[in-house]
Amino acid sequence: MDRRTFLKRSALVGATLAAAPNLGLDSLAATRRNVRWGALCLPRSGQRDQIEAVQDLEAKVGRRFDTTHYRLRWELPLVNDFTRWSVRTGHTPIISWFTRKRGGGMVSWEAIARGEHDEWITKQARSLKDAGWRGYFCFHKEPENEGNAQDWKAAHDRVYQIFHNVGVRFRFVATLTAYTFAGGNGGAGAWLPPRYDVIGVDGYNRYRCTRKDWRNFSEIFSPAREVARRRGKNLYIVEYGSTEGGSGQKADWIHNARRAIKDWPEVVGCSYNHEHTDCLYYVDSSSSALKAFREMGADPTF
């Protein structure tokens, strides 16, 4: 079907799904072996915003994503135009809330842990509760290079407790880099906070960008999977992506991701980063890569 017809049908389906209660989240995904499949899409040339970026990629893959991922600075409200649109159209939101400020710098994790920002945190928690949404929430994920583990864990626990007290129905995903799960930055044990619901991980194949070696999906994410297994936790692959290699190599990387996730029962969701930031990760950087991603989305597991 053409793009306009696809988007119209997606909107109708999304409205129906949004009217129904969100069921079970990761527990439903685990029991039925349905892995939540989604993407973070940053706007590129010709696209107005992230909404249009998501719609365009959904049209290319021929289906609606289960989830949308949105990254926010500290001052931005968690209930906003994008998250409202996401839920209204049948997506489950993944919200990553960072303590980075608009003008640069960060809100101190120590200050958050001491309760100095409880009013703002509580306001945001109540907005999510009042919206009636369910979803996945990451507090300042990938914290390893922006402070120390003790301060981050204390801040994370403060936010977790406030959200719990308010009654927010979001699953807390404690999200570290794949490098940390492989033993870097002192290892995952040093960073995982005292309370969380799901283990999260971000990882990339940065071949010919910041690395000279090609790394398959399973190589990047196996250590995180092992930590989740040992701790008896579900695993959410919050960010994954790959640069291009030789002809067809990125498509093979996506096929490897699909096979690995199907074999890893701990994984309840995965979200591709369709963006050009430190490296070029666009999933449609080649026709073969887009085809592999489309086939992944057509797999009943996803």
Average pLDDT, integer, range 184-198: 98
Q: Which pair of tokens denotes residue 108? A: 């101190």
Average pLDDT, integer, range 204-216: 97
Positive or negative torsion for Cα 187, 189, 194, 199: positive
pLDDT of 15 > 50? The answer is no
* Least confidently predicted of 28-42, 151-165, 198-212, 252-266: 28-42
What kind and span of H or E run contains 135?
Answer: strand 134-139
- For 72-118, the pLDDT digits (tens) are 999 999 999 999 999 999 999 999 999 999 999 999 999 999 999 99
SS3 call for 256: helix
In DSSP terms, which residues pair with 176 in a beta bridge? Answer: 201
Helices (H) and strands (E) in the chain, counts: 12, 8
What is the reported pLDDT for 24? 53
What is the reported pLDDT for 58? 98
Radius of gyration of the chain (CA): 18
Q: Whole-model pTM?
A: 0.90
How far is 173 from 273, CA to CA, in rounded Å?
Answer: 17
Average pLDDT, integer, range 147-153: 98
What is the reported pLDDT for 23? 40
What is the reported pLDDT for 27? 54
Q: Domains in the chain, please, with CATH? A: 66-186 (3.20.20.80)
Q: Are 87 and 93 in contact (CB under 8 A)?
A: yes
Q: Are 250 and 280 in contact (CB under 8 A)?
A: no
pLDDT of 227 > 60? The answer is yes
SS3 call for 68: strand
How far is 150 from 148, CA to CA, in rounded Å?
Answer: 6
